[in-house]
Structure 1
Amino acid sequence: MGTMLLAMAMVAGQPATTPESLTIDLKTPTVSVPRSLFGVFFEEINNAGEGGLYGELLMNRALVPAESGLPQGWAGTEGVRFDASSKLNAARAGSLVIPRGGSASNLGFWGIATRVNEPLKGQLWLRGAGQVRVSLLSAEGSHASNVVTLRVGSTWGEHSISLVPTRQANNLRLNIEVVEGREVHLGYASLSPRKVFKSSEGGLRPDLAQRVDALKPGFLRFPGGCYVEGNDLSNCFDWKSTLVDIEQRPATPRTFWGYISSNGLGYHEYLLMCKDMKAEPMFVINCGMSHSEIEPMATMDRYVQDALDAIEYANGPVTSPMGALRAKNGHPESFNLKYIEIGNENGYTWAFGGQAPYYERFALINKAIKARYPEIITISNVPVPQPGDLTSEHYYDAPNWFWRNKDRYDTYDRAGQRVYVGEYAVTRANGRGSLAGALSEAAFMTGMERNADIVAMASYAPLLENINNRQWNPNAIVFDNHRSYGTPSYWVQKMFADHRAQRMVKQTLVAGIGDPPQVEGRFGFKTWGTACEFKDVSISINGQSRYQSALPALSDFDDIRGGWKVEGGVLKQTDLQDNLYAAIKGVTAQAADNWVFEFSAKKVQGREGFMALAAFQAQDVGIQWNLGGWTNTIHAFERDRNRVGNAVEAGIESGRWYRVRLEKRGAELIGSLDGRVVETLREEGAPSLASSAGVDTSRRELVLKLVNGAERERTLELRGLPLSRQWKGEILTADSLMAENTLDQPNLVTPRPWPVQAGTSVTLPPRSLVVVRIPLTPGEVRPYLGVQ
């Protein structure tokens, strides 16, 4: 362990006044960096696939019925109805019945987008003697394409159509009108662009697929995420049912994320996506655990067999039943599935079922896989007693956490298990995806590069978001039905992909620590899984009373989440959900202010205590003094929901009134309960400079990645670099750390060339990720050759 650590990047934190420097030892290669280090993770969330990456234009093409009325996504004239007794096949729940003179329309995923003369292809499954006309209609009801006339027979038949748009629009709908006969039954419908990404069978929307492909993913993890587990085992991802033609595939009426999936993006299509993007496939399988249900060990055979069959379908010879099915589906060649992750976020202490059920289910499935397919790399969700090849780690947090953890892998035990950082992103204090979050992720990624002997793989999450159904924030790629953009985090991923090194170089970074975070913002209360009451509130700033009320009114608050009400002489929060708060209106403290915030609080019921909010700026952004947190075991300060300072082991009693006092005196926060000081906090600054150095052997260049998270430019002394060469640079920066891209302004924060001169120092602009490429001689590259 010690020898390896000496060869790794050395990083030292110094006071801000110390000259900052980066020393490169080109004669000392360190760790090899596989192409698989950075990949992508696709999850069916945010309508990422259904209504996104998968090119289908019709919402609920499978006609999953609603509780009443027509299926979601469909509208009809008078007399159009859903008939559960008329089914195309056993996978369907019924059909739409359209009477003569009536019509049914599909509104698409928040409208159907078209371009003039870019044809769409469709399939309709119809029965009932008659004639129908099919076209695209505008919101006003005028034709926006050619009209296709179909003769319908008395038995179910598939009808292929081609629609050529006559206008560019984003809010069209598909219209099916019965013009002859008594009535016609629609059993299934599909409409998609003829223009798709690479494999026509994959059916991917080109602009979104090209954005993903531009990341040059070393691997692709699919299809989730919580989508794999499901709310219960009945709605987890059933990959085998997706191996048939689309009209025969059972739909998922309600995925974990609450919307319908027609399962057009199935196991075979995922594997085609991996092939088209030259990404090694990683399939996440259900391990018999969901968010509310666990399969008994006595009946786990199905899940074991599903895992084995998934590998055989992807990789097996065409002489095997599963390999023959793959060939029948159009792909006799192996897909070269390389990774199997067994479960998703199972085995955590906070996850349903906890650790023990996951340990035994992982061991069972892993043993079966290794017995038949020893070459498959297996991944556990958490460290397990009988480990696989890799263990997964997931990190969602604030920018400061990523900065403070940029070197976390420097000290990992080299004799321990290697890591797959399967999900990571800044999800707090990051707007809808800002430069601040992206730069802190970049800092974290430099640490993963420098420690690629420990971090085998990593993938940002989530990948895609339909802006009409944002269920997670932020995401790498945001889109509507005709546009898309990459968030700053996307561009960080792309810069790291464009500037891969095959082997890292020994480096020493001497960098200052930033200033402590400021304490400024508003005040309020917060609960977590607990009902509480509050009264007798006062706030004084710099000795002046700014708010005082024995019984706060709801009108005193302007940012409220939860079941807050005034009743019985107290302010009550009655909801037992997590992360519920109320921020007091119009009282804001500045960083230089001293203040005192006091109130009385009582826990009524629930699993935790209550919190005092200070420096509140938005949900999960600011300071909270958490009294009785972590299942009522600890009092602790938190910033952006990360624990800071020292914690005190203690809890909050139910039914008892406490007097809470939170005071800011200079740079110190002082927390008191019932007149007794419980704990104090004086925050320290976080790092704001990160680096990695590696050799791109294919281009014979040294690649430096430098991240400056500070609001000021900084000069970095450079040592050990070739000076008689022409350096090239690229930069990602903006005028504000909170700068974001949008659909209307997609390129506010994007990389651009950066002129850089060879020299013994470099001045990094504020708020920037910089990549510098320096040509090397054959002799300088030679020690780095022979690695992948």
Structure 2
Amino acid sequence: MKVRTIALSTLLLSSLGASAQVTVDVDAAQKGKAVSPMLYGIFYEDINHAADGGLYAELVRNRSFEDNDKAPEHWKAKGNASLQLISKGLLNKVQGKALEVTFNGDGDGFNNEGYWGIPAVQGRTYKLSFWAKGKLKGKLKAYLSCGCGTKVFASTEFEGKQFSNKWTKYEATLTSKTNHPKALLWFAATGKGKLAFDVVSLMPPTFNNRENGMRPELASMLYDLHPKFFRFPGGCFVEGQQSPDNAFRWERTIGPIEERPGHWNVNWGYRTTDGIGFHEYLQLAEDLGSKPLYVVNVGIWHGGFTPVDSIQPWIDETLNALEYANGPVTSKYGALRAKNGHPAPFNIEYLEIGNENNQPNPREQSDNYYKRFQLFRDAVLAKYPNMHIIGNVASWGTDDPTWDSDEKVELLDEHYYRTPNWFADNFRKYDTYNRQGPDIYVGEYAVTQGFGNVGNLNAALGEAVYMMGMENNSDIVKMASYAPIFANVNETRWRPDMIQFNATRALGTPSYYVQRMMANNVGTRIMAVTQNNPYKVNPDDIKVKPATCAVGVGTWGTNASFEEKALTLEEGATSQPVAKAEVKGTWKKEGNVVKQTSWEEGTVLLNNKLFTSDEYTYKVRARKDKGHEGFLVVFNYVDEDNYCWLNLGGWGNGQHAIEQVIDGSKAQIAMTPGRVEEGRWYDVELHVKGDSVYTSIDGKQIFAAKLKPSTFANFFSSATYDEASGEYIVKLVNTSTEATTARINLKNHKSSKGRVIRLTGEKGTSENTIEQLTNVVPTEEQVSPDADGVTLDIPANSLNIVRIK
């Protein structure tokens, strides 16, 4: 069923046809304040296998055999070989396990599957290293092969007489003679013996050819952002969970990889080798041409904290880290940095004290934050008086976080995870901020509702509008970084993320391309812009309820059963059966009951009636059968981008809500705490009258709400001047579903030539996928200005950056 109603965006821009255009006036003679030279950077956190199995180039998974105390996860025996974890006679004090392999005959061996496959690339040379001890007759062959182990893509051999009862490091190179996306690393013996293995590593070529370095294509995507700063190591990763030992402890992450214990990344559900450690973070910042921004732990972790009068060891840890990064080679930690291959200081200039540790509720990783901040700040500035110090403000629960202390702070870190509407609506958020400071660092922001599957164009355009607002106010908003960056498509714990990847491919979401376009077209002076829109629509006059729609039921990562009881329409309403109602999920009919048995998110089964009725009542019996959420009752359904639903037991079975989707952008209209019991039938009634919605469960009303028109569809503009190139940079965002034209009037300037860099797609919900990387990518074309400016066609759903010489 594909029946469209008149969407809000169409109403807002219906007059913007060939006979109407937006005019944007820029006076070249009126150059404003300087754009912050530090405005756009990147925020890195080990989330979604962003490090191991991601940016970190290591191809062997569970290389030190520490991932599981009972079995060597991701390693398998071949032939009659036997594998056993051992905990005695180990390589060193930081290694807790090693793998003992008994070879009982020719061809016996074992393999490692890598991170969802090891990519063998024809002509690529890999560096193999491992530690081993024991005795072996014959030879030990190491090779890349397919799952069966019979086709050899690359190989090397070690004579059995090389091995002894003393731990020794062995190294070799392997060059692949073919391509295979999911190879395995194999070891096989030609004779009998018993060897213990530890820290088995296979490294491909790395970014800038660094030892223990980064995956080139992922690091190159970061480089293309030209980040002014690099914030690390998180995020919740800084704090850890369960105990202070689970926090990021920098000294445990430096030196040779066999001397790093690694730790469980409890916050995000997997073990990390700490192969990307403190030194690698600093080296990567240098390689990206960005300033390192280090986030330090203030003695708080998820689930506990060190009392504020006992945090001196945490302060000492921070000062030691700064000495490692900034100290001379004559200092203790500066000498250690030189020993690790970097005699020159890395020069940390930016330090954030804590991560999201200033919530009003002290149980939310927040205890005496202002006192902790003061103690850290004073200790750091006493030794590094020019350090830029960043403080925390409330990171959730408010759109207007404040610094409620007399303690002096230079920058405040604001975090916003919101809808495309919110970001567009907050285009002018910073216009009214106090210019006396503190300055603002928007350290984490992203559309996290209404972004589609991996990140759609609507989300990116909302973020682009917000970034334009930050640029306009970069006298107060000094820095900003999107979050988070990376996700391995095989294990995504947080969505969306602006770079998605598997072992062989990487995709940039539309949000990634917005970040790249904006960062590469900042300018140096803010220009005043006067925009004239040939339309004005009062959102209060817009009717949201579609003329023709359908109803249905659904689930979100949960199994549930439904029995439709009644659909009552107003007198005079018309209806007709649909030839094929849209279905998502796995549905099974048993008598009058339908069951949804898959674990998909956003499953839908529509009633087979398409109706026209301004008022209707829909009654359903519903039961949660299994899973973490409740169930959904769908209404006002037009198509997959325009509908509403009553979400009962959402957000991990903790909230009820009415959610509304317009042109793929989702918003919560009403919310209340609530849960549903597994195995219990509920009687749900939903009554719609125009834009008013009334819902009840078992006869008790839980919502009386009114649907809201989307304010997303609009036209936004901003401008800067680039003193280096002599170009005026005008940014135009059309968030509507209608194309228009725009006239840029550049006063007091004779235009000579120009170009436009554009990001657009088939519709606002368009996305890139790991199979289709280029659905939404930037394009560039030349434009021909006249003496006073330029006129352009502006596609629907587009970011347009015009550079006029």
Please name the residue that 2:6 is paired with: none
Which of 505-514 and 417-426 deviates more? 505-514
8 Å Cα contact 1:525/1:583 also seen in 2? yes
Task: State which of 678, 688, 702 in structure 2 corresponds to 1:664.
Answer: 688
Secondary structure of 2:99 counterpart: strand
Distance across 2 between alignment mates of 1:263 and 1:412: 40
Distance across 1 between alignment mates of 2:612 and 2:340: 64
| Structure 1 segment 140-289 matched on structure 2, within 5 A | 140-141=148-149, 142-150=151-159, 151-180=162-191, 182-193=193-204, 195-198=205-208, 200-201=210-211, 203-233=213-243, 234-289=245-300
Please name the residue that 1:322 is paired with: 333
Please name the residue that 2:120 is paired with: 114
Distance across 2 between alignment mates of 1:282 and 1:255: 23
Task: State which of 493, 516, 520 in structure 2 corresponds to 1:498.
Answer: 520
Counterpart of 2:90 in structure 1: which amino acid? K
Task: State which of 82, 87, 102 in structure 2 corresponds to 1:84.
Answer: 87
Secondary structure of 1:735 counterpart: coil
Displacement of 1:72 after TM fit? 3.5
1:127 is the counterpart of 2:133: yes
Please name the residue that 2:735 is paired with: 709
Please name the residue that 1:685 is paired with: 711
Q: TM-score scaled by structure 1?
A: 0.83
Distance across 1 between alignment mates of 2:564 and 2:614: 23
8 Å Cα contact 1:539/1:545 also seen in 2? no
8 Å Cα contact 2:583/2:604 also seen in 1? yes
Please name the residue that 2:5 is paired with: none
Q: TM-score scaled by structure 2?
A: 0.81
Displacement of 1:558 after TM fit? 6.7
Distance across 1 between alignment mates of 2:491 and 2:242: 22
Counterpart of 1:286 in structure 2: which amino acid? N
Counterpart of 1:452 in structure 2: which amino acid? S
Secondary structure of 1:494 counterpart: helix
Please name the residue that 1:782 is paired with: none
Displacement of 1:218 after TM fit? 0.7
Deviations 1:35-74 (A, max 9, x none): 3211111111111111111111101112115243323455
1:51 is the counterpart of 2:62: no
Distance across 2 between alignment mates of 1:116 and 1:628: 51
Over 3 Å counting, the alpha-carbon distance change for 1:288 and 1:92 in structure 2 is: same
Over 3 Å counting, the alpha-carbon distance change for 1:676 and 1:274 in structure 2 is: closer
Secondary structure of 1:491 counterpart: helix
Distance across 1 between alignment mates of 2:441 and 2:494: 22
Counterpart of 1:353 in structure 2: which amino acid? E
Please name the residue that 1:470 is paired with: 492
Counterpart of 1:434 in structure 2: which amino acid? N
8 Å Cα contact 2:555/2:630 also seen in 1? no
1:766 is the counterpart of 2:801: no
Distance across 1 between alignment mates of 2:465 and 2:655: 31
Deviations 1:687-717 (A, max 9, x none): 5212220011111100111111111111224
| Structure 1 segment 567-716 matched on structure 2, within 5 A | 585-586=606-607, 594-597=615-618, 614-615=635-636, 623=644, 639=660, 662-669=686-693, 678-683=704-709, 685-716=711-742
Distance across 1 between alignment mates of 2:376 and 2:631: 42
Secondary structure of 2:378 counterpart: helix
Displacement of 1:33 after TM fit? 1.6
Secondary structure of 1:29 counterpart: strand
Over 3 Å counting, the alpha-carbon distance change for 1:124 and 1:422 in structure 2 is: same
8 Å Cα contact 2:644/2:659 also seen in 1? yes
Secondary structure of 1:60 counterpart: coil
Over 3 Å counting, the alpha-carbon distance change for 1:495 and 1:236 in structure 2 is: same
| Structure 1 segment 380-395 matched on structure 2, within 5 A | 380-382=391-393, 383-384=402-403, 385=405, 386-395=407-416
Displacement of 1:324 after TM fit? 1.3
Distance across 1 between alignment mates of 2:701 and 2:115: 58
Secondary structure of 1:260 counterpart: strand
Deviations 1:235-287 (A, max 9, x none): 22221101221011002144421112111100000000000011111112222
Secondary structure of 2:190 counterpart: strand
Distance across 2 between alignment mates of 1:334 and 1:31: 33
Please name the residue that 1:430 is paired with: 451
Task: State which of 757, 761, 780 in structure 2 corresponds to 1:730.
Answer: 757
1:741 is the counterpart of 2:752: no
Q: What's the % identity of the aligned pairs?
A: 33
Secondary structure of 1:247 counterpart: helix
Distance across 1 between alignment mates of 2:651 and 2:494: 24
Counterpart of 2:31 in structure 1: which amino acid? P
Over 3 Å counting, the alpha-carbon distance change for 1:89 and 1:458 in structure 2 is: same
1:756 is the counterpart of 2:766: no
Distance across 2 between alignment mates of 1:447 and 1:590: 43
Distance across 2 between alignment mates of 1:652 and 1:356: 29
Displacement of 1:658 after TM fit? 11
Distance across 2 between alignment mates of 1:255 and 1:773: 46
Deviations 1:586-629 (A, max 9, x none): 368789864334579999xxxx9999764579999954668999
| Structure 1 segment 538-549 matched on structure 2, within 5 A | 538-541=566-569
Displacement of 1:546 after TM fit? 9.4
8 Å Cα contact 1:318/1:332 also seen in 2? yes
Gaps of 5+ in 1: 1-12, 548-555, 574-578, 776-788
Please name the residue that 2:398 is paired with: none
8 Å Cα contact 2:301/2:365 also seen in 1? no
Displacement of 1:456 after TM fit? 1.2
8 Å Cα contact 2:653/2:676 also seen in 1? no
Q: How many residues align?
A: 738
RMSD (Å) for aligned C-alpha atoms: 4.3
Distance across 2 between alignment mates of 1:353 and 1:87: 40
Which of 742-751 and 619-628 deviates more? 619-628
Displacement of 1:232 after TM fit? 2.2
Secondary structure of 1:318 counterpart: coil
Distance across 1 between alignment mates of 2:420 and 2:536: 15
Secondary structure of 2:184 counterpart: strand
Counterpart of 2:755 in structure 1: which amino acid? K
Displacement of 1:461 after TM fit? 1.5
Distance across 1 between alignment mates of 2:603 and 2:769: 29
Distance across 1 between alignment mates of 2:504 and 2:686: 50
Task: State which of 267, 284, 304 in structure 1 corresponds to 2:315.
Answer: 304
Over 3 Å counting, the alpha-carbon distance change for 1:108 and 1:682 in structure 2 is: closer
Over 3 Å counting, the alpha-carbon distance change for 1:377 and 1:533 in structure 2 is: farther
Counterpart of 1:92 in structure 2: which amino acid? Q
Over 3 Å counting, the alpha-carbon distance change for 1:495 and 1:676 in structure 2 is: closer
Counterpart of 2:267 in structure 1: which amino acid? F
Secondary structure of 2:300 counterpart: coil
Distance across 2 between alignment mates of 1:391 and 1:621: 38
Over 3 Å counting, the alpha-carbon distance change for 1:267 and 1:617 in structure 2 is: farther
Task: State which of 131, 143, 147 in structure 2 corresponds to 1:139.
Answer: 147
Over 3 Å counting, the alpha-carbon distance change for 1:545 and 1:122 in structure 2 is: same
Deviations 1:542-566 (A, max 9, x none): 557999xxxxxxxx997699xxxx9
Secondary structure of 2:459 counterpart: helix
Counterpart of 2:216 in structure 1: which amino acid? P
Which of 54-63 and 394-403 deviates more? 394-403
Secondary structure of 2:304 counterpart: coil
Over 3 Å counting, the alpha-carbon distance change for 1:602 and 1:92 in structure 2 is: closer
Displacement of 1:373 after TM fit? 1.9
Secondary structure of 1:46 counterpart: coil
Over 3 Å counting, the alpha-carbon distance change for 1:509 and 1:265 in structure 2 is: same
Secondary structure of 1:250 counterpart: coil
Counterpart of 2:37 in structure 1: which amino acid? R
Distance across 1 between alignment mates of 2:363 and 2:675: 27
8 Å Cα contact 1:39/1:457 also seen in 2? yes
